[in-house]
Structure 1
């Protein structure tokens, strides 16, 4: 509760400061002139003000208690829930806006309404003697004073909540390991804040001057009072229009660079690290934009390095796997290249091609779990040995599941597990058919089969490329996906039809 009590003391101090500045400094001119008005029954008016003041404080305290209830409840509980912490955090952020509503609502109405009603009552029974329109002047002055008080209170409260916000956020981190924040939620937009503040600063002194002048002319009995509101209204209209225009221009000059940065941030959130915010400003926003661009440039460079390291990691794993068998050296790399050839022909995007490449490099990772006597056997495999080989897609999936972070490997699992499925449903390990087979698995199946047929084995030589392509073409729709198989076949014949083409170079140029 210590931090909460300290927070309340700051709010009370700010309330007093705002009241003094608004009432004494801004309302001083009106009050000093009003004291010279020919008013009878000052003692009764003091009674009116005293009762109205009590009414105002009662209503304002009740409203304030309701506004801080979620915050106070957080400090009263020995073990607050994470929802208690989050609700209190949001409510603290709302306090500056709520302070404005409190002052323009219970504060103003709690004072003005009883004061007006009691004054009219005392005038009716003869305890107060003053013209009725003075009540309108007093009510107008109260609205202006309350408006300036609310403006001051908003910005003072905005500063007062900072330590408490930090404390509540640290409580969430300490109790639940969760850093509480608004996560991009906007309580009060910068545009609205600047527009209302600039408008208030520009118009309130003008209203005070017009009101004080009205009272002064009434006290002195000047003949100018007859025409006063004609030119005063003109001044007010021009003053309001100028303040509105200035507030709009000021808010726009702030909103534009913020909008520029928000747009660039959204691009970064979607993974675009090549985006740069436009540096079109000569104030502090220039420094902010430059810092943002340098940060994104650094992230982009780091991402490129990470991608290179990750690609090396996958290539190294594939090379280590292929090194077990000198006859299949380079198999994983070639399958990846053939798969990318098919993927590009199918119009896959950059991200899908990247996943395809990584999946193809690791498609046989499960063979790590197959013993050498089976994997490296010179002759044909027995049925039992072939059953062991057939386990390598599922085993490869299980191996990749053990690699952290899990979410990085998850997109590779379908392609690794399904690269031996057949389009007619007679493959393994799951017997999937048609488009039920994951897309990457269907692509890798074509590439893997082609390289297996054209690679040398201890017990046979690799077949010619044309024959392997013919087998792929004949197996469309049965063993392989007809669409991806045809893309690969077409790529082969396009290479063959080139002038001075050498089909044996197809493997190297894939």
Structure 2
């Protein structure tokens, strides 16, 4: 209900602004600065205006409650038919027009009818000394002011319904329908809004000035020309102010959706592909639809590219497995262990994904090592081991030649530096401590554990407990103590979970 309550608050604020500008601004200037009134006449006219405003407010309140009912229903009721949902959204789209109807209907009549009746009564009884034809002039002024008020509130309401329509869109999704499925089909072109507002902005000042001048000249009986010009200057200032406000509101009604679209395009440029709720009923509706189609196409293309990249990494890992069957599955296991450590360390989802890709490719450089060295069944000589030690550099060079996109370049340090030691005695760059890239420090733990526990042609893999003991003893010398501790904690927890599962499964029913 909060979006609905916020909308009603904005509508009340809009009404106060429009009324202050039109009725109490232009209207009061028109009456009290154009007519020459005695004190008792001014008091009576204030009473007339006050009473008429009360009638106007009551009339408008009744009509407003009728207009707002379909929207209130959308937020208050848990179950709605498709017809009721469409009616609620359509009513929200039409609310600026409904606002105009309220102002030129119950607003105008509620104010003008009692005001003219009481004014006629005052003239008849001699309470105000005005000619009867002033009532006709007053109706002309009231119509002008009502139309101006309607124009101001139209654009204010037009801005206010945007967040409401976004909330209604979310509400309809909760009820199982998207706005696109509902196909409300309401359209109010910018051209029509521009045409109506431009014509009125051009005509209103002239008509108001002519009307006010007619009354002023009649009041002065052709005398007091110097007073006329001071009065005319005030009227011109009021007219210019209203013209400026109308122009500003018209401009804002076009600028706001343009700024929203520009912000969304900036988000797309930064890699955030989020569609927009189509809360517009004019030409911007077509632009939003096109934007959403564009975002959908980009997301689909990115998903396809992601699948291709996944295939790329999988093929590279499978290629290495096919080359060296004794280490088949090593890259996948190192990737899995690395992900465990990274998640425990609180890496973001994007960082975990990059780390996993780096781990899958960490030994890809072994493709560049000769078969008689890579596949040798006996222990390697120092010279042969030196050749093996080149595989991190070869792997990084291979990936550089592939020309990875910018967002995948963080995988390179893990490939090149996963054999560095924390004490600086590793290879290929003899880096130490925090100078070793974080992916390299983390993957070194996962890679060493899997190497120790996997079978080789020249030796059998050691027991898991022994490998974990070696990692514990080598923390701070061979491995980063932080990542080593995290890995040890993860492995202990997994052992406990497995043990508890076994005990549960063997317990008698």
TM score, norm. by length of structure 1? 0.54
Query: Which residue is 1:331 aligned to?
Result: 330
Alpha-carbon offset, residue 412 of structure 1: 2.2
Whether the aligned pair in 2 keeps the contact of 1:199 and 1:244 (CA below 8 Å) is no
| 2:240 paired with 1:249 | no
Query: Which residue is 1:272 aligned to?
Result: 272
Whether the aligned pair in 2 keeps the contact of 1:260 and 1:277 (CA below 8 Å) is no
| 2:469 paired with 1:462 | no
Alpha-carbon offset, residue 224 of structure 1: 7.0
Alpha-carbon offset, residue 297 of structure 1: 1.8
Whether the aligned pair in 1 keeps the contact of 2:313 and 2:357 (CA below 8 Å) is yes
Q: Where do 5+ consecutive residues of structure 2 fail to align?
A: 1-193, 503-509
Query: Which residue is 2:499 aligned to?
Result: 500
Deviations 1:176-200 (A, max 9, x none): xxxxxxxxxxxxxxxxxx9xx9799
Q: What is the SS of the residue equivalent to 1:295?
A: helix
Q: 1:209 to 1:481 in 2, by over 3 A?
A: same
Query: Which residue is 1:263 aligned to?
Result: 263
Alpha-carbon offset, residue 407 of structure 1: 3.8
Q: 1:226 to 1:310 in 2, by over 3 A?
A: same
Query: Which residue is 1:129 aligned to?
Result: none
Question: How far, CA to CA, are the matches of 1:366 and 1:402 in structure 2?
Answer: 13
Deviations 1:328-361 (A, max 9, x none): 1111111111111111111111222222111111
Question: How far, CA to CA, are the matches of 2:438 and 2:229 in structure 1?
Answer: 80
Q: 1:442 to 1:502 in 2, by over 3 A?
A: farther
Q: 1:200 to 1:428 in 2, by over 3 A?
A: farther
Whether the aligned pair in 2 keeps the contact of 1:279 and 1:289 (CA below 8 Å) is yes
Alpha-carbon offset, residue 238 of structure 1: 2.5
Question: How far, CA to CA, are the matches of 1:203 and 1:415 in structure 2?
Answer: 72
- The residue correspondences of 1:12-31 to structure 2 (distance < 5 A) are none
- The residue correspondences of 1:102-121 to structure 2 (distance < 5 A) are none
Query: Which residue is 1:430 aligned to?
Result: 429
Q: What is the SS of the residue equivalent to 1:253?
A: helix
- The residue correspondences of 1:53-452 to structure 2 (distance < 5 A) are 202=202, 206=206, 223=223, 225-273=225-273, 275-405=274-404, 407=406, 410-452=409-451
Q: What is the SS of the residue equivalent to 1:323?
A: helix
Whether the aligned pair in 1 keeps the contact of 2:359 and 2:414 (CA below 8 Å) is yes
Question: How far, CA to CA, are the matches of 1:407 and 1:320 in structure 2?
Answer: 24
Whether the aligned pair in 2 keeps the contact of 1:496 and 1:502 (CA below 8 Å) is no
Whether the aligned pair in 2 keeps the contact of 1:199 and 1:243 (CA below 8 Å) is no
Question: How far, CA to CA, are the matches of 2:294 and 2:200 in structure 1?
Answer: 38
Alpha-carbon offset, residue 225 of structure 1: 3.8
Q: 1:409 to 1:230 in 2, by over 3 A?
A: closer
Alpha-carbon offset, residue 409 of structure 1: 5.3
Whether the aligned pair in 2 keeps the contact of 1:396 and 1:416 (CA below 8 Å) is yes
Alpha-carbon offset, residue 278 of structure 1: 3.1
Question: How far, CA to CA, are the matches of 1:495 and 1:408 in structure 2?
Answer: 33
Whether the aligned pair in 1 keeps the contact of 2:205 and 2:239 (CA below 8 Å) is no
Alpha-carbon offset, residue 408 of structure 1: 5.6
Whether the aligned pair in 2 keeps the contact of 1:207 and 1:236 (CA below 8 Å) is no
Query: Which residue is 1:478 aligned to?
Result: 477
Q: 1:414 to 1:207 in 2, by over 3 A?
A: farther
Q: What is the SS of the residue equivalent to 1:402?
A: helix
In the TM superposition, structure 1's runs of 4+ consecutive aligned residues that sit over 4 Å from their partners are 197-210, 221-224
Whether the aligned pair in 1 keeps the contact of 2:201 and 2:246 (CA below 8 Å) is no
Alpha-carbon offset, residue 228 of structure 1: 2.9
Whether the aligned pair in 2 keeps the contact of 1:415 and 1:441 (CA below 8 Å) is yes
How many residues are aligned here?
Answer: 300
Whether the aligned pair in 1 keeps the contact of 2:209 and 2:235 (CA below 8 Å) is no
Q: What is the SS of the residue equivalent to 2:409?
A: helix
Question: How far, CA to CA, are the matches of 1:410 and 1:245 in structure 2?
Answer: 53
Q: 1:307 to 1:202 in 2, by over 3 A?
A: same
Q: 1:299 to 1:227 in 2, by over 3 A?
A: same
Question: How far, CA to CA, are the matches of 2:418 and 2:447 in structure 1?
Answer: 8
Q: 1:230 to 1:332 in 2, by over 3 A?
A: same
Alpha-carbon offset, residue 240 of structure 1: 1.5
Coordinate RMSD, CA, aligned: 3.0
Range 367-376 or range 293-302, more displaced: 293-302
Deviations 1:31-66 (A, max 9, x none): xxxxxxxxxxxxxxxxxxxxxxxxxxxxxxxxxxxx
